[in-house]
């Protein structure tokens, strides 16, 4: 009779935790990509606005208009700097999530290896038992001839 793997509940728990770590890592990667996209959008917007300033200067603008452009560019630069910090924090979170996923995956693989070894031992025992039964059956069916009493009729 096959014995159940005694660590099966732990294997299932490790699988659940690994699945959760995978989902969490996916969310962290998506969030990081989103933050990077926002940063790129801000940088692109800043470049477009700086180009407008250059074009306006080439056409001739007043000092007040130029100060407004520069003030707005300073705000955009501040937003860009804040967004870079957000991206860096997101990168750190993603790296931590990757480490958590790797650790969880290692634990799962360790328990899974034990489960596979258990299954292999069970199969070996079952095969041995089956072979023993086959040998016993063969011996009964084709067993040694009955001993003769020495009389030849």
pLDDT at 1 over 90: no
The pair of three-digit structure tokens given for residue 64, joined into one six-digit string: 């007040």
Helix, strand, coil percentages for the chain (3-state, nearest 5): 85, 0, 15
Instruction: Quote the CA–CA distance of 44 and 136 in Å, as a whole number.
Output: 83
Instruction: Quote the CA–CA distance of 33 and 100 in Å, as a whole number.
Output: 19
- For residue 148, the model assigns a pLDDT of 60
If pLDDT is split at 50, 70 and 90, which confidence band does 136 have? confident
Q: Are 57 and 12 in contact (CB under 8 A)?
A: no
If pLDDT is split at 50, 70 and 90, which confidence band does 24 have? very high
Return the exposure string of 56-93: e unless at least 16 CB atoms fall within 10 Å of the residue's CB, then b.
Answer: eeeeeeeeeeeeebeeeeeebeeeeeebeebbeebeeb
| Assessment of whether the complete model's pTM goes beyond 0.95 | no
Q: Are 33 and 39 in contact (CB under 8 A)?
A: no
If pLDDT is split at 50, 70 and 90, which confidence band does 16 have? very high
Is 8-126 assigned to CATH 1.10.287.1700?
yes
Q: What is the pLDDT of the chain when averaged over all its residues?
A: 90
The values of phi and psi at residue 143, to 5°, are -55, 175
Query: Per residue in 63-87, pLDDT tens?
Result: 999 999 999 999 999 999 999 999 9
Output DSSP code: residue 6.
T
């Amino acid at each position: 009779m096959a014995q159940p793997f005694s660590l099966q509940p732990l294997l299932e728990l490790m699988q659940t935790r690994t699945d959760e770590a995978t989902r969490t890592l996916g969310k962290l990667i998506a969030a990081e990509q989103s933050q990077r996209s926002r940063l790129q959008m801000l940088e692109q917007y800043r470049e477009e606005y700086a180009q407008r300033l250059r074009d306006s200067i080439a056409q001739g603008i007043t000092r007040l208009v130029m100060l407004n452009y520069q003030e707005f560019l300073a705000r955009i630069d501040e937003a860009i700097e804040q967004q870079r910090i957000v991206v860096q924090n997101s990168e750190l979170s993603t790296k931590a999530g990757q480490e958590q996923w790797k650790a969880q995956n290692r634990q799962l693989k360790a328990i899974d290896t034990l489960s596979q070894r258990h299954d292999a031992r069970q199969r070996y025992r079952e095969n041995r038992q089956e072979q023993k039964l086959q040998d016993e059956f063969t011996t009964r069916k084709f067993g040694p001839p009955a001993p003769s009493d020495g009389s030849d009729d």
